[in-house]
Structure 1
């Protein structure tokens, strides 16, 4: 049975689903890791023309997306505290320089 090459639209859909799922993590470190990893993986395959490699890449990423979705659900359940760099200062509070 010949491997079916995924269309460009299917790859883009998989990319956007992967990013959306990665951004669903409540933990900053996991969220940023999966976003960076997704972008780098799809960037590497961006100019690939070999149908076999594209098909293998697509199938692996679909399996990985299912794992990341399950991980995101568990992470949302047990997310924990927000990190300092996730907390934004209130919009109405003006930032002042410490040396003035």
Structure 2
């Protein structure tokens, strides 16, 4: 018999994954991974089978380690900011 992860463990993993997803410097990657994280954990929330829940939890733990490494690389080589992102440090025509 498989013991499913506790609610606290799942919520903690969700918070860590969401925090890591939000740390991407690239707008497109950041939004994609935040959306994907929310979808993944919504699926885990509705899962009733303890075996499937444990498997999904273990997969999410593995994905978190990959996501952390990817976020570090993205922060190193992030690139330019996009027009849709807030650019508070950029001067506008009225500031001159």
Q: TM-score, normalised by structure 1?
A: 0.83
Question: What is the aligned length?
Answer: 90
Post-superposition shift, 1:47?
1.9
Residues 85 and 13 of structure 1: CA distance in aligned 2, closer, same or farther (over 3 Å): same
Post-superposition shift, 1:25?
0.3
Aligned-partner Cα distance in 2 for 1:69–1:30: 13
**Counterparts of residues 58-97 of structure 1 (less than 5 Å):** 58-88=57-87
Q: TM-score, normalised by structure 2?
A: 0.86
Corresponding position of 1:38: 37
* Long gaps (5+) in structure 1: 94-100
Post-superposition shift, 1:4?
2.8
Q: Which runs of 4+ in 1 moved over 6 A?
A: none
Structure number with bigger Rg: 1
Return 44-53 or 77-86, whichever deviates more: 44-53
Aligned-partner Cα distance in 2 for 1:31–1:39: 12
CA shift digits 1:1-52 (9 cap, x unpaired) = x433100010001111110000000000000000000001111221222110
| Structure in which a larger fraction of residues adopt helix | 2
